Amino acid sequence: MLNINLEKPLIFFDLETTGINIANDRIVEISIVKLLPDGSQEIKTRKINPEMPIPRGASEVHGIYDEDVKDEPTFKDIAKSLYNYMLGCDVAGYNVLKFDIPLLIKEFERANLSYSVSGVDVVDVFNIFCKKEPRTLTAAYKMYCNKDLEDAHSAEADTLATLEVFAGQLKYYDDLPNSISEIAEFANKRDDKCIDNNGRFKWHGDDAMVAFGKHNGQLLKTVADQNPGFLRWIVNNDFPEDVKKIAKNALIGKFPVKK
Protein backbone atom coordinates (compact mmCIF):
# COMPACT_ATOMS: atom_id res chain seq x y z
CA MET A 1 0.00 0.00 0.00
CA LEU A 2 2.81 2.45 0.87
CA ASN A 3 5.72 2.88 -1.49
CA ILE A 4 8.11 3.26 1.40
CA ASN A 5 10.37 1.01 3.45
CA LEU A 6 9.18 0.40 6.98
CA GLU A 7 11.81 -0.39 9.59
CA LYS A 8 9.15 -1.10 12.20
CA PRO A 9 5.34 -1.22 12.28
CA LEU A 10 3.51 2.00 11.46
CA ILE A 11 0.15 2.70 13.08
CA PHE A 12 -2.43 5.00 11.55
CA PHE A 13 -5.17 5.84 14.01
CA ASP A 14 -8.18 8.07 14.50
CA LEU A 15 -10.38 8.83 17.50
CA GLU A 16 -14.03 9.73 17.86
CA THR A 17 -14.65 11.48 21.14
CA THR A 18 -17.18 13.14 23.41
CA GLY A 19 -15.73 16.54 22.48
CA ILE A 20 -12.52 18.48 21.87
CA ASN A 21 -11.44 19.21 25.43
CA ILE A 22 -8.23 17.20 25.75
CA ALA A 23 -8.24 17.40 29.54
CA ASN A 24 -11.79 16.19 30.13
CA ASP A 25 -13.30 14.53 27.05
CA ARG A 26 -13.16 10.80 26.39
CA ILE A 27 -12.79 8.38 23.51
CA VAL A 28 -15.94 6.70 22.17
CA GLU A 29 -14.30 4.90 19.25
CA ILE A 30 -10.78 4.14 18.11
CA SER A 31 -9.70 2.75 14.77
CA ILE A 32 -6.19 1.52 14.05
CA VAL A 33 -4.54 0.35 10.86
CA LYS A 34 -1.18 -1.27 11.57
CA LEU A 35 1.16 -1.56 8.58
CA LEU A 36 3.85 -4.18 9.06
CA PRO A 37 7.34 -4.21 7.47
CA ASP A 38 6.41 -7.34 5.47
CA GLY A 39 3.71 -5.36 3.63
CA SER A 40 0.73 -6.81 5.49
CA GLN A 41 -1.76 -4.77 7.47
CA GLU A 42 -4.14 -5.22 10.39
CA ILE A 43 -7.29 -3.19 11.02
CA LYS A 44 -8.85 -2.92 14.46
CA THR A 45 -11.85 -0.73 15.30
CA ARG A 46 -13.85 -0.74 18.48
CA LYS A 47 -16.32 1.43 20.35
CA ILE A 48 -15.54 2.44 23.93
CA ASN A 49 -17.80 3.36 26.82
CA PRO A 50 -16.62 6.88 27.80
CA GLU A 51 -18.21 6.66 31.26
CA MET A 52 -19.92 9.98 30.63
CA PRO A 53 -22.86 11.12 28.49
CA ILE A 54 -21.98 11.87 24.89
CA PRO A 55 -23.10 15.44 24.08
CA ARG A 56 -25.69 15.54 21.31
CA GLY A 57 -23.49 17.87 19.25
CA ALA A 58 -20.69 15.30 19.27
CA SER A 59 -23.08 12.46 18.41
CA GLU A 60 -24.40 14.42 15.45
CA VAL A 61 -20.83 14.62 14.12
CA HIS A 62 -19.74 10.99 14.47
CA GLY A 63 -23.09 9.20 14.75
CA ILE A 64 -22.27 7.44 18.04
CA TYR A 65 -24.86 7.77 20.81
CA ASP A 66 -25.00 6.69 24.47
CA GLU A 67 -27.04 3.62 23.52
CA ASP A 68 -24.31 2.49 21.11
CA VAL A 69 -21.61 2.32 23.80
CA LYS A 70 -23.44 1.44 27.01
CA ASP A 71 -22.38 -2.24 26.80
CA GLU A 72 -18.89 -1.59 25.41
CA PRO A 73 -15.68 -1.82 27.49
CA THR A 74 -14.23 1.29 29.08
CA PHE A 75 -10.85 2.62 27.99
CA LYS A 76 -9.34 1.28 31.20
CA ASP A 77 -10.59 -2.18 30.21
CA ILE A 78 -8.67 -2.15 26.92
CA ALA A 79 -5.79 0.15 27.88
CA LYS A 80 -3.17 -2.50 28.58
CA SER A 81 -3.78 -4.49 25.38
CA LEU A 82 -3.90 -1.26 23.32
CA TYR A 83 -0.70 -0.02 24.97
CA ASN A 84 1.08 -3.28 24.11
CA TYR A 85 -0.31 -3.21 20.57
CA MET A 86 1.11 0.29 19.97
CA LEU A 87 4.40 -0.30 21.76
CA GLY A 88 7.40 -0.09 19.43
CA CYS A 89 5.35 1.31 16.55
CA ASP A 90 5.70 4.59 14.72
CA VAL A 91 2.49 6.60 14.56
CA ALA A 92 0.61 8.45 11.82
CA GLY A 93 -2.72 10.19 11.36
CA TYR A 94 -4.43 13.40 10.30
CA ASN A 95 -3.90 16.31 12.71
CA VAL A 96 -2.88 13.81 15.40
CA LEU A 97 -0.19 16.01 16.97
CA LYS A 98 -2.67 18.66 18.10
CA PHE A 99 -5.52 16.45 19.25
CA ASP A 100 -5.55 12.66 18.92
CA ILE A 101 -2.17 11.95 20.49
CA PRO A 102 -2.57 14.33 23.48
CA LEU A 103 -6.04 12.95 24.20
CA LEU A 104 -4.85 9.35 23.88
CA ILE A 105 -1.97 10.06 26.27
CA LYS A 106 -4.49 11.50 28.74
CA GLU A 107 -6.66 8.39 28.50
CA PHE A 108 -3.62 6.19 29.15
CA GLU A 109 -2.77 8.34 32.18
CA ARG A 110 -6.23 7.67 33.65
CA ALA A 111 -5.49 3.97 33.23
CA ASN A 112 -2.15 4.39 35.05
CA LEU A 113 -0.10 3.81 31.89
CA SER A 114 2.55 6.20 30.63
CA TYR A 115 2.37 6.28 26.84
CA SER A 116 4.75 8.64 25.07
CA VAL A 117 5.78 9.39 21.51
CA SER A 118 9.30 10.13 22.68
CA GLY A 119 11.55 8.00 20.50
CA VAL A 120 8.64 7.37 18.13
CA ASP A 121 8.45 8.85 14.64
CA VAL A 122 5.12 10.65 14.21
CA VAL A 123 3.84 11.41 10.72
CA ASP A 124 1.06 14.00 10.75
CA VAL A 125 -0.46 13.87 7.28
CA PHE A 126 -2.14 17.24 7.89
CA ASN A 127 1.27 18.90 8.29
CA ILE A 128 2.48 17.37 5.02
CA PHE A 129 -0.60 18.79 3.31
CA CYS A 130 0.09 22.27 4.73
CA LYS A 131 3.76 22.19 3.73
CA LYS A 132 3.17 20.86 0.22
CA GLU A 133 0.13 23.04 -0.46
CA PRO A 134 1.06 26.36 1.17
CA ARG A 135 -1.77 28.86 1.54
CA THR A 136 -0.07 31.66 -0.39
CA LEU A 137 -1.22 33.59 -3.42
CA THR A 138 1.67 32.15 -5.44
CA ALA A 139 0.59 28.61 -4.56
CA ALA A 140 -3.08 29.36 -5.27
CA TYR A 141 -2.16 30.90 -8.64
CA LYS A 142 -0.26 27.76 -9.57
CA MET A 143 -3.06 25.46 -8.43
CA TYR A 144 -6.06 27.22 -9.94
CA CYS A 145 -4.45 28.92 -12.96
CA ASN A 146 -1.56 26.53 -13.62
CA LYS A 147 0.81 29.47 -14.07
CA ASP A 148 3.76 30.88 -12.17
CA LEU A 149 3.13 34.26 -10.60
CA GLU A 150 5.51 36.88 -12.01
CA ASP A 151 6.32 39.97 -9.93
CA ALA A 152 4.79 38.49 -6.78
CA HIS A 153 4.27 41.08 -4.03
CA SER A 154 3.84 43.96 -6.46
CA ALA A 155 0.36 45.37 -5.82
CA GLU A 156 -0.87 45.23 -9.42
CA ALA A 157 0.45 41.72 -10.12
CA ASP A 158 -1.04 40.39 -6.88
CA THR A 159 -4.39 42.04 -7.55
CA LEU A 160 -4.66 40.68 -11.08
CA ALA A 161 -3.52 37.25 -9.89
CA THR A 162 -6.18 37.25 -7.17
CA LEU A 163 -8.84 37.99 -9.80
CA GLU A 164 -7.59 35.05 -11.90
CA VAL A 165 -7.52 32.78 -8.86
CA PHE A 166 -11.14 33.67 -8.07
CA ALA A 167 -12.12 32.92 -11.67
CA GLY A 168 -10.23 29.64 -11.42
CA GLN A 169 -12.03 28.72 -8.19
CA LEU A 170 -15.41 29.32 -9.82
CA LYS A 171 -14.46 26.82 -12.52
CA TYR A 172 -12.77 24.35 -10.19
CA TYR A 173 -15.59 24.17 -7.64
CA ASP A 174 -18.82 23.79 -9.57
CA ASP A 175 -20.88 23.83 -6.36
CA LEU A 176 -19.97 27.42 -5.45
CA PRO A 177 -22.91 29.87 -5.52
CA ASN A 178 -23.25 32.16 -8.53
CA SER A 179 -23.88 35.42 -6.70
CA ILE A 180 -21.37 37.60 -4.85
CA SER A 181 -23.54 37.82 -1.73
CA GLU A 182 -23.86 34.04 -1.46
CA ILE A 183 -20.14 33.51 -2.12
CA ALA A 184 -19.26 36.13 0.49
CA GLU A 185 -21.50 34.37 3.02
CA PHE A 186 -19.84 31.02 2.23
CA ALA A 187 -16.29 32.40 2.37
CA ASN A 188 -16.75 34.40 5.55
CA LYS A 189 -18.91 32.01 7.54
CA ARG A 190 -17.25 31.41 10.85
CA ASP A 191 -17.22 28.17 12.77
CA ASP A 192 -20.16 28.40 15.17
CA LYS A 193 -17.88 27.18 17.97
CA CYS A 194 -15.52 30.15 17.60
CA ILE A 195 -15.90 32.93 20.16
CA ASP A 196 -13.35 35.30 18.61
CA ASN A 197 -12.69 35.89 14.93
CA ASN A 198 -9.54 33.77 14.90
CA GLY A 199 -10.84 30.79 16.85
CA ARG A 200 -8.38 31.20 19.71
CA PHE A 201 -11.27 30.60 22.08
CA LYS A 202 -14.14 28.24 21.31
CA TRP A 203 -17.32 27.03 22.92
CA HIS A 204 -17.33 23.71 24.73
CA GLY A 205 -21.01 23.34 25.45
CA ASP A 206 -21.88 26.59 27.23
CA ASP A 207 -18.35 27.21 28.50
CA ALA A 208 -15.44 29.02 26.83
CA MET A 209 -12.40 26.90 26.08
CA VAL A 210 -8.83 27.73 25.08
CA ALA A 211 -8.30 26.42 21.54
CA PHE A 212 -4.55 26.87 21.01
CA GLY A 213 -1.18 26.61 22.69
CA LYS A 214 -0.16 24.56 25.70
CA HIS A 215 -3.61 24.90 27.29
CA ASN A 216 -5.47 23.83 24.15
CA GLY A 217 -8.66 22.02 25.14
CA GLN A 218 -8.85 23.41 28.68
CA LEU A 219 -11.76 25.47 29.94
CA LEU A 220 -11.02 29.19 30.13
CA LYS A 221 -12.20 29.27 33.76
CA THR A 222 -9.69 26.54 34.65
CA VAL A 223 -6.83 28.37 32.93
CA ALA A 224 -7.78 31.66 34.60
CA ASP A 225 -7.77 29.95 38.01
CA GLN A 226 -4.70 27.73 37.65
CA ASN A 227 -2.53 29.38 34.98
CA PRO A 228 -3.36 33.09 34.79
CA GLY A 229 0.13 33.82 33.46
CA PHE A 230 -0.94 32.33 30.13
CA LEU A 231 -3.75 34.89 29.87
CA ARG A 232 -1.43 37.74 30.88
CA TRP A 233 0.93 36.60 28.13
CA ILE A 234 -1.92 36.94 25.61
CA VAL A 235 -2.82 40.40 26.88
CA ASN A 236 0.78 41.64 26.62
CA ASN A 237 1.61 40.20 23.20
CA ASP A 238 0.64 40.60 19.56
CA PHE A 239 -2.84 39.06 19.54
CA PRO A 240 -6.01 40.49 17.95
CA GLU A 241 -7.92 42.86 20.19
CA ASP A 242 -10.94 40.57 20.55
CA VAL A 243 -8.65 37.77 21.78
CA LYS A 244 -6.94 40.13 24.24
CA LYS A 245 -10.30 41.34 25.52
CA ILE A 246 -11.46 37.79 26.31
CA ALA A 247 -8.19 37.05 28.14
CA LYS A 248 -8.27 40.37 30.02
CA ASN A 249 -11.86 39.81 31.17
CA ALA A 250 -11.10 36.25 32.22
CA LEU A 251 -8.35 37.54 34.52
CA ILE A 252 -10.96 39.48 36.48
CA GLY A 253 -13.50 36.67 36.48
CA LYS A 254 -15.63 37.77 33.53
CA PHE A 255 -16.17 34.99 31.00
CA PRO A 256 -17.96 34.89 27.66
CA VAL A 257 -21.66 34.04 27.86
CA LYS A 258 -23.19 31.97 25.09
CA LYS A 259 -26.24 33.64 23.59
Rounded CA-CA distance 120/42 in Å is 20
pTM of the model: 0.66
- What are the CA-CA distances from residue 209 to residues 58, 89, 184, 250, 256 (Å)? 16, 33, 28, 11, 10
Sign of CA dihedral 259, 210, 104, 3: positive
For the stretch 180-192, pLDDT in tens is 888 888 877 777 8
For the stretch 207-247, pLDDT in tens is 999 988 888 889 999 999 999 999 999 998 878 888 999 99
Domain 10-128 falls in which CATH fold? Answer: Nucleotidyltransferase; domain 5 (3.30.420)
Rounded CA-CA distance 193/201 in Å is 9
For the stretch 55-113, pLDDT in tens is 988 898 899 999 999 999 999 999 999 999 999 999 999 888 888 999 999 999 999 99
Helix (H, G, I), strand (E, B) or coil at 80: helix
Cα 164–Cα 167–Cα 173 angle in degrees, nearest 5:
135
How is the chain split into domains, by residue range? 10-128, 137-188, 201-251
pLDDT > 90: percent of the chain? 60
For the stretch 24-40, pLDDT in tens is 899 999 999 999 999 89
